[in-house]
């Protein structure tokens, strides 16, 4: 079984409301082995909705419509599904009574317009909604399912977990298990990482994908099977191949900062940081994990704003002096310098990176686009990646 999601509401297309429901539904359906193959946003236009629902039900075995079940004139999902199925809407007195009782519970008077919420397409399976006034339903034709859920996220989530998914399991035999594993890659560009696993991207099961965020890359493997053990068995050989191909670039299930934080914590270390970027991205990334905070606390942090011209020797010296200032300590001591000096090229800022243990110093310089927020993230990852490589050589 595959699924499509149709998120209904003009407010979604205006950008007034963000569609978080579709992402939630995709995760929930995927976890029971029902992949979502398409998500569509549509405004409150009845003819357009009818045609969209009709076409979706021809392509997919399950169509979920979210939103448009309220009591106002622009809540058209009930009518749209009925027309797409060529069926009339049927009035259910018991649904209206339940809606009225809910209003009475809160000592409020039900409006006449709430009556429309008691209509569902003929023959549909009604899903009671104890979290709101809009009943949900599932209609079926020729083995294809069309489900309607309210657009209020709290109601949609409750009905999905307590009604829709149990319906799919008990009535339609949906019992597949999905296992998702994520592994993180460091020290490679997204393109270079993707090239090493290019032949896996078209696999039907497990599904393999790669995403980039803030200079870090995550490879996601999603396998579906009858049991968790079978799904894990599908993933295992791919993980083994990736471990071989990526070598030390593969950080398993740890993000870069988590990995470095763990290495710093394995034996107490001292880290002296010198940074000339006002946003202090290197400090922020290191301080986001316990091992990084402890190493910085044992050392020192100096953050200044400077764009003066720099040479490699000057930056290396800064890192060396920082590493040597601790005097006699039993713990390994490092000095890390991240220093910028203005424009390297159009739209690019030249940043010098140096890491020293007081004796041996590593150096790198490259341009970063600091006009965009991710530029600072990529810079921080580059500096912490330099530290990672040094720490791993000590193991």
Of all residues in the chain, the percent with pLDDT exceeding 90 is: 68
User: How do the domains of the chain map onto residue ranges?
Assistant: 3-172, 177-249, 256-394
CB contact set of 266 (below 8 Å; sequence gap of 6+) = none
Structure confidence at residue 267 (pLDDT): 80
Has residue 196 got a pLDDT over 70?
yes
**pLDDT band per the 50, 70, 90 thresholds, residue 175:** confident
**pLDDT band per the 50, 70, 90 thresholds, residue 24:** very high
What's the first-to-final CA gap in the chain, in angstroms? 48
| Helix, strand and coil percent figures for the chain, each rounded to 5 | 45, 25, 30
Q: Extract the tokens encoding 190.
A: 């997204």
Structure confidence at residue 311 (pLDDT): 77
Q: What average pLDDT does range 209-221 have in this prediction?
A: 91
Q: What average pLDDT does range 67-74 have in this prediction?
A: 94
Structure confidence at residue 109 (pLDDT): 86
- Higher-confidence residue of 39 and 372: namely 39
Q: What average pLDDT does range 382-389 have in this prediction?
A: 94
Whether 161 contacts 28, CB under 8 Å = yes
Whether 64 contacts 147, CB under 8 Å = yes
CB contact set of 367 (below 8 Å; sequence gap of 6+) = 344, 345, 348, 349, 350, 351
**pLDDT band per the 50, 70, 90 thresholds, residue 287:** very high
* pLDDT tens-digit readout, 293-319: 999 998 889 888 776 777 788 888 888
* pLDDT tens-digit readout, 73-118: 999 999 999 999 999 999 999 999 999 998 998 888 899 999 999 9
Q: What average pLDDT does range 329-338 have in this prediction?
A: 80
Whether 313 contacts 297, CB under 8 Å = no
Answer whether the bond into residue 173 is a cis peptide, omega within 30°. Answer: no
CA-wise closest residue to 169 among 3, 32, 22: 32
Q: Where are the alpha helices (DSSP H) in 311-357?
A: 312-324
- Helices 46-59 + 77-84 axis angle, to 10: 50
Structure confidence at residue 94 (pLDDT): 94
Has residue 326 got a pLDDT over 80?
no
Lowest pLDDT segment from 239-253, 345-359, 368-382: 345-359
367 strand-pairing partners? 350
Backbone angles phi, psi at 386, to 5 degrees: -60, -40
Which residue is associated with the tokens 């905070």? Answer: 293
**pLDDT band per the 50, 70, 90 thresholds, residue 177:** confident
Same fold, 177-249 and 256-394: no
**CA 278, 366, 381, 268 torsion: positive or negative?**
negative
CA 237 to chain centre: 25
- Helices 256-266 + 373-394 axis angle, to 10: 30
Backbone angles phi, psi at 303, to 5 degrees: -120, 120
Class of domain 177-249: alpha beta
Lowest pLDDT segment from 15-24, 280-289, 346-355: 346-355
DSSP category for residue 200: G
Has residue 66 got a pLDDT over 90?
yes
Q: What average pLDDT does range 358-384 have in this prediction?
A: 90
> What is the C-alpha separation between 311 and 115, in angstroms, rounded?
76
Region of 123 on the Ramachandran plot (φ > 0 left; ψ -120 to 50 alpha; else beta)? left
Q: What element of type H or E holds 373?
A: helix 373-394
Structure confidence at residue 321 (pLDDT): 85
Structure confidence at residue 214 (pLDDT): 82
Class of domain 3-172: alpha beta
Whether 136 contacts 159, CB under 8 Å = yes
- Higher-confidence residue of 358 and 395: namely 358
Structure confidence at residue 278 (pLDDT): 76
* pLDDT tens-digit readout, 152-171: 999 999 999 999 999 999 88
Largest CA distance in the chain: 85
**pLDDT band per the 50, 70, 90 thresholds, residue 329:** low
Q: Extract the tokens encoding 105.
A: 């519970």
Q: Give the CATH number of domain 256-394; options: 3.90.226.10, 3.40.50.1100, 2.40.30.330, 3.90.950.20.
A: 3.90.950.20
Has residue 44 got a pLDDT over 80?
yes
Whether 32 contacts 48, CB under 8 Å = no
Of all residues in the chain, the percent with pLDDT exceeding 70 is: 96
Lowest pLDDT segment from 48-52, 135-139, 222-226, 304-308: 304-308
Structure confidence at residue 79 (pLDDT): 97
Apex 366 CA angle, 365 and 367, nearest 5? 140
Whether 280 contacts 376, CB under 8 Å = no
Structure confidence at residue 174 (pLDDT): 87
Structure confidence at residue 173 (pLDDT): 86
Has residue 345 got a pLDDT over 80?
no
Residue 65 burial (CB count, 10 A)? 28
- What's the mean pLDDT when you consider all of the chain? 91
> What is the C-alpha separation between 248 and 23, in angstroms, rounded?
33
Structure confidence at residue 307 (pLDDT): 65
Q: What element of type H or E holds 257?
A: helix 256-266
DSSP category for residue 246: H
> What is the C-alpha separation between 139 and 135, in angstroms, rounded?
13
């Amino acid at each position: 079984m595959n699924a499509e999601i149709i998120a209904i509401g003009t407010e979604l297309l205006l950008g007034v409301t963000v569609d978080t429901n579709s992402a939630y539904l995709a995760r929930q359906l995927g976890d029971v082995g029902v992949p979502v193959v398409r998500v569509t946003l549509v405004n409150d236009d009845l003819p357009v909705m009818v045609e969209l629902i009709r076409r979706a039900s021809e392509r997919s075995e399950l169509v979920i419509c979210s939103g448009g079940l309220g009591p106002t004139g622009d809540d058209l999902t009930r009518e749209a599904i009925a027309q797409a199925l060529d069926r009339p809407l049927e009035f259910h007195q018991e649904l209206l009574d339940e809606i009225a009782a809910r209003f009475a519970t809160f000592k409020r008077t039900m409006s006449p317009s709430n009556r429309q919420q008691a209509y569902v397409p003929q023959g549909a399976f009604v899903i009671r909604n104890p979290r709101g006034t809009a009943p949900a339903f599932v209609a079926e034709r020729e083995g294809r399912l069309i489900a309607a859920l309210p657009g209020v996220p709290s109601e949609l989530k409750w009905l999905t977990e307590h009604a829709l998914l149990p319906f799919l399991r008990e009535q339609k035999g949906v019992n597949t298990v999905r296992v998702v594993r994520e592994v993180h890659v460091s020290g490679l560009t997204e393109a270079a990482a993707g090239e090493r696993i290019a032949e896996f991207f078209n696999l039907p099961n497990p599904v393999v994908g790669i995403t980039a965020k803030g200079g870090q890359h995550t490879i996601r493997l999603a396998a579906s099977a009858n049991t968790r053990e079978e799904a894990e068995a599908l993933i295992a050989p791919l993980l083994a191949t990736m471990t071989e191909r990526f070598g030390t670039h593969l950080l398993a299930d740890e993000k870069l900062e988590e990995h470095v934080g763990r290495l710093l914590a394995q034996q107490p270390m001292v880290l002296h940081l010198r940074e000339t970027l006002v946003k202090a991205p290197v400090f922020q990334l290191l301080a986001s994990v316990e091992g990084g905070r402890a190493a910085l606390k044992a050392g020192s942090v100096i953050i200044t704003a400077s764009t003066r011209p720099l040479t490699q020797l000057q930056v290396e010296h800064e890192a060396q002096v920082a590493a040597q200032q601790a005097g006699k300590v039993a713990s390994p001591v490092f000095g890390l310098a991240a220093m910028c000096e203005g424009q390297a090229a159009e739209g690019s800022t030249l940043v010098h990176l140096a890491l020293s243990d007081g004796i041996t110093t590593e150096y790198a310089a490259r341009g970063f686009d600091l006009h965009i927020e991710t530029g600072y993230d990529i810079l921080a990852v580059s500096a912490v990646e330099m530290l990672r490589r040094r720490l791993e050589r000590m193991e």
